[in-house]
Amino acid sequence: MKKFLNTADLMLWRYVNSDLFACTVLFLTFVIVLASVR
């Protein structure tokens, strides 16, 4: 179980450091701004 958790942490860390995560954050910010403007 612990090994699985470590693997999941590593995958999450990789995702956080990837461009995909940055794009997701930017997209969500854009949506929130759009929603508050309307």
What tens digit of pLDDT does each residue of 2-23 get? 787 788 888 888 877 888 888 8
How close are the terminal C-alpha atoms of the chain, in Å? 47
pLDDT score for 15: 78
pLDDT score for 1: 64
pLDDT score for 27: 96
Decide if 15 contacts 21 (C-beta within 8 A). yes
pLDDT score for 10: 85
Spatial separation of the C-alpha atoms in residues 28 and 4, rounded to whole Å: 29
